[in-house]
């Protein structure tokens, strides 16, 4: 008897629900299914291919700036249009892409000038390359950080061409330690330990003391709080934010440049911002590395919208602040309204390498056991939750209220 012919790839592609995937990806999924076992696997392979794409998800983890989920959520909707990215409307001549958005950001944080790059690490590398290439940079031993994804400050400094000069000790560094190496360095560099704390017998040199040294002072704040007084919030800074260093106050204390991220406490898109004295910002803009690190029009336009919201004291337009400031009582009301699971008090965190150890009272739904895999399989939006005390917790602080209906469907299906 002749062997049965394998099914036609073309036929299976026509018959299967492609879930909106373009035909080449459906063909790849069908071929992988046939190679892996047979036509009965086709549907699963197509679904897996669709879920490997970047998709919107529901963040029920309670981590406001979840790095794996894109950090600060931000709606970006723009018509197809050219922009005056590098065009001066007044003169009709070419301009620089960093000047317009940079000026708005500078105004928002009290700097003379500002420059936008792709991310925080790019900001560190560019600033040190522009101000200290082939020269020494003084850094406290207690600030030689490593953050998520293997970002190690000494490695980035080496790539910038600057030479690390360690000062002080892990737990105590004074201004005199920096002063003792001034003959060896071109820049004094202070780094905010944004994702860990050193407690006990400790001492840090304040920005004001380092500003008195005869070298440019660069401060990497990382988290990107623009102003400690939070003038965009009617009630001022929330308790969980108190003590967090801010850009405006750091510049006022004497820093020449302050570096921070766009997608952390700023609540904007992924970007790095270099803000401070015009002469040093311009040195960064002139450096050849800037061309490799500069963002495109979409990021710049989105960041401009964020800066304008701060200047207009319109924090309600920024999803990060809306979520962060929702009261626990409002979250409890939402949780009771879902009608399934056990309503629980819980705690959210800012995440994204900010405010380590700081918790924000929250509320959510607890389900028995670990059902995170089932929640991740939900459609149209996978639901990402956390495990706590052998239960699955859905923290509502990081869930958009518009998605509550999807939570109801998921919880009902699992009841």
pLDDT in tens, 366-379: 999 999 999 999 99
- Is the pLDDT assigned to residue 304 strictly greater than 70? yes
Please answer whether residues 188 and 208 qualify as being in contact, where contact means their C-beta atoms are separated by less than 8 angstroms.
no
- 86 CB burial (10 A radius; 0-12, 13-18, 19+): middle
- Asked if the domains at 58-70+321-414 and 97-295 fall in one CATH topology, the answer is no
pLDDT digits (tens, 9 = 90+) for 316-345: 889 999 999 999 999 999 999 999 999 999
What band does 76 get if pLDDT is binned at 50, 70 and 90?
confident
Please give the share of the chain, as a percent, with pLDDT higher than 70.
98
What band does 3 get if pLDDT is binned at 50, 70 and 90?
low
Q: How far is CA 264 from the centre of its chain?
A: 4
Q: What is the pLDDT of residue 127?
A: 98
**Topology, domain 97-295:** 3.40.640
Q: What is the pLDDT of residue 250?
A: 97
pLDDT digits (tens, 9 = 90+) for 392-406: 999 999 999 999 999
* DSSP-assigned letter for residue 296: -
Q: What is the pLDDT of residue 287?
A: 97
Q: What is the pLDDT of residue 364?
A: 97
- Is the pLDDT assigned to residue 182 strictly greater than 80? yes
pLDDT digits (tens, 9 = 90+) for 48-57: 999 999 999 9
CA gap 378, 407 in Å, rounded? 10
- Is the pLDDT assigned to residue 239 strictly greater than 90? yes
Average pLDDT over residues 179-192: 97
Q: Which region among 77-91, 176-190, 267-281 has the lowest average model confidence (pLDDT)?
A: 77-91
CA gap 67, 151 in Å, rounded? 14
pTM greater than 0.85 (yes/no): yes
Average pLDDT over residues 187-212: 90
C-alpha to C-alpha distances, 338 to 333, 364, 372, 411, nearest whole angstrom = 9, 10, 18, 8
> What single string gives the DSSP state of each residue in 111-133?
-SEEEEESSHHHHHHHHHHHHHT
Please answer whether residues 365 and 385 qualify as being in contact, where contact means their C-beta atoms are separated by less than 8 angstroms.
no
- Which H or E run includes 222? strand 217-222
- 10 CB burial (10 A radius; 0-12, 13-18, 19+): exposed
Virtual torsion, Cα 105, 107, 110, 114, nearest 10 deg? 40
C-alpha to C-alpha distances, 288 to 82, 100, 129, 320, nearest whole angstrom = 26, 20, 10, 34
What band does 1 get if pLDDT is binned at 50, 70 and 90?
very low
CATH number for 58-70+321-414 (one of 3.30.1330.10, 3.20.20.150, 3.90.1300.10, 3.90.1150.180): it is 3.90.1150.180
CA gap 171, 193 in Å, rounded? 12
| Cβ neighbours, 10 Å, residue 337 | 11
CA gap 65, 104 in Å, rounded? 24
CA gap 151, 116 in Å, rounded? 19
Q: What is the number of alpha carbons within 13 Å of residue 17 lying toward its C-beta?
A: 6
- Is the pLDDT assigned to residue 270 strictly greater than 90? yes
Q: In the chain, what are the domain boundaries?
A: 58-70+321-414, 97-295
- Is the pLDDT assigned to residue 203 strictly greater than 60? yes
- Is the pLDDT assigned to residue 299 strictly greater than 70? yes
- Is the pLDDT assigned to residue 229 strictly greater than 60? yes
What band does 242 get if pLDDT is binned at 50, 70 and 90?
confident
- Is the pLDDT assigned to residue 79 strictly greater than 90? no
Return mean pLDDT, the chain: 93
> What single string gives the DSSP state of each residue in 169-202?
-SSB--HHHHHTTGGGEEEEEEE--TT----SS-
Q: Is the dihedral of CA 124, 129, 131, 134 positive or negative?
A: positive
Please answer whether residues 236 and 256 qualify as being in contact, where contact means their C-beta atoms are separated by less than 8 angstroms.
no
- 260 CB burial (10 A radius; 0-12, 13-18, 19+): buried
CA gap 168, 174 in Å, rounded? 7
What band does 282 get if pLDDT is binned at 50, 70 and 90?
very high
Please give the share of the chain, as a percent, with pLDDT higher than 90.
80
Residues forming a β-bridge with 354: 351
């Amino acid at each position: 008897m002749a062997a049965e012919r394998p099914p036609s790839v073309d036929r299976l592609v026509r018959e299967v629900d492609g879930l909106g995937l373009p035909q080449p990806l459906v063909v790849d999924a069908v071929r992988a299914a046939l190679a892996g076992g047979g036509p009965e696997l086709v549907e699963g392979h197509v679904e897996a291919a669709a879920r490997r794409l970047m998709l919107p998800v529901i963040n029920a983890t309670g981590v406001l700036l979840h790095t794996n989920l894109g950090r600060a959520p931000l709606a970006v909707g723009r018509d197809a249009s050219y922009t005056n990215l590098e065009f001066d409307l007044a003169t009709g001549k070419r301009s620089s892409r960093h000047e317009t958005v940079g000026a708005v950001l500078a105004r928002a944080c009290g700097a003379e000038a500002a420059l936008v790059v792709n991310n925080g690490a790019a900001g560190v590398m560019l600033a040190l390359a522009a101000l200290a290439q082939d020269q020494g940079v003084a850094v406290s031993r207690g600030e030689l950080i490593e953050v998520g994804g293997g970002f190690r400050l000494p490695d980035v400094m080496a790539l910038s061409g600057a030479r690390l000069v360690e000062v002080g000790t892990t737990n105590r560094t004074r201004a005199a330690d920096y002063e003792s190496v001034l003959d060896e360095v071109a820049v004094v560099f202070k780094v905010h330990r944004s994702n860990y704390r050193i407690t006990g017998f400790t001492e840090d040199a304040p920005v004001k003391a380092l500003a008195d040294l005869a070298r440019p002072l660069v401060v990497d704040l990382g988290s990107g709080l623009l102003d400690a007084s939070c003038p965009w919030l009617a009630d001022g800074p929330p308790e969980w934010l108190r003590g967090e260093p801010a850009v405006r106050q750091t510049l006022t204390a004497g820093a020449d440049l302050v570096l921070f991220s766009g997608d952390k406490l700023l609540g904007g898109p992924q970007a790095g911002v270099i803000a401070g004295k015009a002469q040093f910002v311009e040195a960064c803009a002139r450096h050849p590395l800037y061309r490799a690190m500069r963002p495109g029009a979409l990021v710049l336009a989105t960041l401009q919208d964020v800066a304008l919201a701060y200047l207009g004291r319109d924090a309600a337009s920024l999803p990060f602040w809306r979520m962060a400031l929702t009261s626990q009582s409002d979250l409890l009301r939402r949780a009771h309204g879902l009608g399934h699971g056990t309503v629980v008090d819980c705690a959210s965190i800012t995440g994204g390498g900010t405010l380590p150890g700081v918790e924000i009272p929250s509320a959510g739904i607890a389900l028995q056991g670990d059902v995170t895999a089932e929640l991740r399989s939900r459609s149209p939006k996978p639901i990402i939750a956390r495990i706590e005390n052998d239960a699955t917790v859905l923290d509502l602080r990081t869930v958009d209220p518009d998605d509550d209906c999807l939570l109801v469907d998921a919880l009902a299906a699992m009841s």
